[in-house]
Amino acid sequence: MKDDLLGDILDEMGAETFRPLDEPDQVKRAALDDVYNLPIGDVDPSPFQPRKIFNQKTLDDLAQSIKENGLLSPVTVRRVGERYELVAGERRLRAMKSIGHEFIPGIVREYTDEQSHAFALIENIQRDDINCIEAALSLRDLKDNYSLTQEKLSAVYGKDRTRVSKVMALLDLPKEVVDLLMQGDLSQSHGELLCNPKLEVEKVSHFATVSVKNNWGKRHLDEAIRKYINASENPPLPSVKPEVPGWFSDLSQLIKSRNESAGRAVKTKFDNKNGVGEVKLSFDINEVDEFEAAAKEVVDALRKVKEEMLKNQEIPDS
């Protein structure tokens, strides 16, 4: 279905999608009639590649799969001068290079710059792991540069027209929020909530930052936005949780490990109220002697952490 759609779109643009070119003698033919074994050093990445982030772990997994099973799907290239330029399959090309292959199976097609660009955009949109901002950018490019209708954009993206409109609307968010979505710090669901027209631009950025810092899920963000919008006047904005200092993390770990080894459960909590830090400890103990032992472990742990901080000149001696 998707391949047929891609072919239809490129046919409309005048692409000759299935006729391989006559290649030089030094290019060895592969088993399939329209697939060539191309010298991997002669294949350049596509200048139209819309994908900006490649996960190294998945590239390593793909390389291992190729080692074990071979390359199951050839790349697609076009001739540019005396070299080849990738049209589709950059992950496969990178993986093949990483394991030292000299040749890569490829289909050679006659594409103009415009057709190669469109192919790259469409292939990118159809990725299973595509980021919502990458999808939005590709959809916008297809709409602006190739006059694709909303219906055809919907078919390319594999989602209904409402979803197409929602994902493209993410590009209207402030740049810093778009960056958080691109990096994966915020999900598409977060982004759609932040598109609320009742939120002023600066408030959108504030809610986005607080959501990331406080590790809010979609429901928490939704509730916070609703509470802010429904407030009568001068509604308070949510704030970022205080950052736990490194020394407290070290102290907390030391206190827990020392007490847990003796069978005592200890909970630690760091609060920052009005700029003043406060450490709270909760002991699950029943006897006075147990409390005394636990308190001693706390004091000893605090002394050890302070000594380390002094050694590293993180706090002044006092």
Catalytic positions are: 90
Residue type, 210: V
Rounded Cα gap, residues 203 and 213, in angstroms? 15
Task: State how beta strands 276-284 and 28-29 pair.
Answer: unpaired
- CA dihedral of 89, 93, 99, 102, whole degrees rounded to 10: 130
Rounded Cα gap, residues 195 and 218, in angstroms? 13
Rounded Cα gap, residues 218 and 186, in angstroms? 9
